[in-house]
């Protein structure tokens, strides 16, 4: 049974946890909702697939296996898959909720991306794809509807793993649903074999071309026609692609073996991002800005009035966004199957026959007319070949090599072929193929790095494609530790891949606190410290062993390692500390003891009756004695 209205399930709780609160989109095989995770108290997105899929064991097995694999992906440009499960309403996926809308929504509003915006979006998608490809996962359905933005404009790839699970269902689905969005499919889809990671790269190139121009390149009236076009020619680069032109051309090669991979595509797009000015923010179209969700099963990403790529009775293209597989029922729910496995197989056999007939047309015509044609050969692919090897390969075919121009290229080493004319078809012997040869990466201006931190210098050079070598650190009185003192070369231009030598400061130099001769004066100490680049701070203490004005000690002590400019404390002698014995006559013994203690003197004892008053002291009052000496009290 097919649910005909998306809002029928609002309020339902899936898996005793996810309460559907608001519809986001509908499609022939999936509904998308905003939901509340009642356990973690957060908003999530829930994709509820067609309930008929719950009865497909092959689909459920693949669905659960793919969900586990995709849930393990951790990358800032891949939409997080939190959970998956089954419900009476159908299998479902629980995903991270993003509020920035999709690239499809931006393009449907008529907004195009600038080269800088397209490069920024493309590098995020390519990095996400490269991460997934390293894990052995291929998306198989890269399209604008599956590129979602958060509120800050970061792009995320959605529906990883879903296309493969639905493909498994399509192999056994009685209605013969065929997975894959033909408008963005790679030409090798015609082979009906295993699609590898390079298919995702081609689809991304098509998406970026549409985002720049508003037109999907190499599109025919039917999906088969589209794939046939793409199998016969490399993807054309849209006008206005600017610095993205060469990169899109490398990603849009018809032959997967000649196509760049996602990691290399990400590097090339990142380099373009660094060269271009910071682009304007994307004209995001959040779901809240869209029209109210239709309750009919339609493709929410299809432009109104856009020509369809297929008739209603023979669809091979998957609805985008909320859908994961083409529905096997008509608009009213009672129509005939879209295709059957048998008719689909006949369809591909017929396509193969047509391709063979098309390839043999020239020979058949020649045999029928009896006319001799010039000897010709299939045009070889020379892109990426060194010029000398390309010339040798053509020489064996009796075809000449002509160099039309040379261009800087970050994708091809100097001397390699960047592009060729003609690039496909056949060429007669004696004719020439014109090529554009790479000059290697374009030279970049070396930045002045003096005063930058080591990390900032490394980032600046990496952004230009330059390497850096770290020379031994040197002390500096003016450059803080960890900052760049100098670099070589410090100006001019270099080719990406060349190195810049960086000298980093270890900070101010260390010196030893100087040693002083015995009996050195305070002025001699100051002179020695200043000569070593150190400052002096004097303090004064009494000493019975060091004459007045001489140095008692240094702190830190002599021989210690300190930073140039540090302050050293110089302890200078005041000589012995003398005090005068006070006149205590007439004082009580207790009062006399207190008076002596206040002057830093002690009491040696009392001569006489301690009850009587003090009559004299020994030493006598007025006598100069050392601080801390003892005085004898005499009483009457």
Residues 231/220, Cβ–Cβ less than 8 Å: no
Residues 575/564, Cβ–Cβ less than 8 Å: no
Q: What does DSSP assign to residue 483?
A: B
Q: What does DSSP assign to residue 333?
A: S
Q: Looking at 87, 108, 141, 299, which residue is catalytic?
A: 141
Whether 428 sits among the annotated catalytic residues: the reply is: no
Sign of CA pseudo-dihedral 73, 79, 83, 86 = negative
Sheet holding 400-407, edge to edge: 400-407, 432-438, 417-421
Q: How many CB atoms lie within 10 A of CB 444?
A: 19
Structure-token pair, residue 428: 């007669």
Sign of CA pseudo-dihedral 69, 74, 79, 84 = positive
Listed in sequence order, the residues at least 6 apart from 568 whose beta carbon sits closer than 8 Å to its beta carbon are 513, 529, 534, 535, 536, 537, 554, 555, 556, 562
- Three-state DSSP at 630 gives strand
Helix (H) or strand (E) holding 251: helix 245-251
The dihedrals phi and psi of 226, each to the nearest 5 degrees, come to -60, -45
Query: Does 635 sit behind a cis peptide bond, omega within 30 degrees of 0 on the bond before it?
Result: no
* Distance separating alpha carbons of residues 556 and 562, to the nearest angstrom: 8
How remote is the C-alpha of 167 from its chain's centroid?
Answer: 31
Residue positions counted in the chain: 636
- The beta strand positions in 341-483, using DSSP E, are 376-378, 400-407, 417-421, 426-428, 432-438, 444-445, 467-470
Give me the active site residues, please.
141
């Amino acid at each position: 049974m097919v649910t005909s209205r998306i809002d029928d399930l609002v309020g339902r709780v899936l898996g005793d946890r996810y309460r559907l609160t608001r519809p986001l989109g509908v499609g022939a095989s999936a509904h998308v909702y905003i939901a509340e995770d009642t356990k973690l108290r957060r908003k999530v997105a829930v994709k509820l697939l067609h309930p008929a899929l719950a009865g497909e064991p092959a689909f459920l097995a693949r669905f659960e296996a793919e969900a586990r694999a995709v849930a393990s992906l951790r990358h800032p440009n891949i939409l997080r898959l939190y959970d998956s499960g089954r419900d009476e309403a159908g299998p479902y996926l629980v995903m991270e909720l993003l509020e920035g809308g999709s690239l499809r929504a931006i393009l449907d509003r008529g907004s195009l991306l600038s080269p800088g915006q397209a490069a920024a979006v493309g590098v995020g998608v390519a990095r996400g794809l490269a991460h997934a490809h390293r894990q052995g996962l291929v998306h198989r359905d890269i399209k604008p509807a599956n590129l979602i933005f958060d509120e800050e404009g970061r792009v995320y790839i959605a529906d990883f793993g879903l296309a493969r699970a639905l493909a498994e269902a399509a192999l056994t689905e009685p209605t013969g649903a065929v997975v894959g969005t033909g408008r963005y499919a790679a030409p090798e889809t015609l082979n009906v074999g295993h699609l590898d990671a390079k298919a995702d790269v081609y689809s991304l190139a098509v998406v970026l071309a549409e985002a720049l121009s508003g037109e999907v390149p190499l599109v025919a009236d039917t999906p088969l026609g589209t794939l046939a076009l793409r199998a016969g020619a490399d993807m054309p680069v849209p006008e206005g692609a600017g610095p993205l032109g060469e990169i899109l051309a490398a990603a849009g090669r018809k032959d997967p073996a000649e196509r760049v991979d996602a990691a290399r595509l990400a590097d090339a797009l990142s380099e373009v991002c660094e060269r271009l000015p910071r682009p304007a923010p994307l004209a995001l179209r959040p779901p809240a800005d869209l029209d109210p969700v239709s309750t009919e099963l339609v493709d929410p990403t299809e432009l109104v009035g856009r020509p369809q790529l297929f008739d209603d009775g023979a669809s091979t293209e998957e609805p985008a966004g909320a859908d994961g597989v083409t529905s096997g029922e008509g608009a009213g729910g009672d129509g005939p199957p879209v295709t059957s496995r048998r008719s689909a197989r006949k369809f591909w056999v017929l396509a193969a026959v047509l391709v063979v007939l098309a390839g043999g047309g020239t020979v058949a015509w020649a045999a029928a007319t009896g006319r001799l044609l010039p000897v010709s050969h299939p045009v070889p692919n020379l892109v990426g070949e060194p010029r000398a090897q390309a010339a040798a390969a053509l020489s064996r075919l009796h075809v000449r090599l002509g160099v039309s121009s040379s261009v800087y290229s970050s994708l091809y080493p100097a001397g390699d072929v960047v592009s060729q004319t003609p690039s496909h078809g056949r060429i007669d012997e004696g004719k020439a193929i014109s090529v554009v040869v790479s000059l290697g990466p374009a030279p970049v201006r070396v930045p002045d790095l003096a005063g930058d931190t080591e990390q900032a210098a490394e980032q600046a050079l990496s952004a230009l494609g330059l390497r850096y070598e770290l020379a031994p650190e040197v002390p500096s009185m003016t450059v803080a530790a960890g900052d760049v003192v100098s670099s070589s070369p410090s100006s001019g231009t270099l080719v990406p891949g060349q190195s810049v030598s960086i000298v980093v400061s270890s900070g101010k130099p260390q010196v030893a606190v100087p040693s002083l001769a015995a009996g050195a004066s305070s002025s001699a100490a100051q002179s020695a410290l200043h000569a070593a680049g150190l400052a002096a701070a004097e303090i004064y203490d009494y000493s019975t062993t060091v004459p007045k004005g001489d140095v008692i000690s240094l702190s830190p002590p002599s021989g210690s390692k300190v930073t140039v400019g540090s302050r050293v404390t110089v302890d200078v002698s005041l000589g012995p500390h003398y005090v005068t014995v006070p006149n205590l006559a007439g004082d009580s013994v207790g009062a006399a003891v207190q008076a002596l203690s206040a002057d830093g003197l002690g009491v040696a004892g009392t001569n006489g009756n301690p009850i009587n008053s003090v009559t004299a002291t020994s030493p006598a009052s007025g006598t100069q004695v050392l601080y801390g000496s003892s005085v004898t009290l005499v009483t009457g």
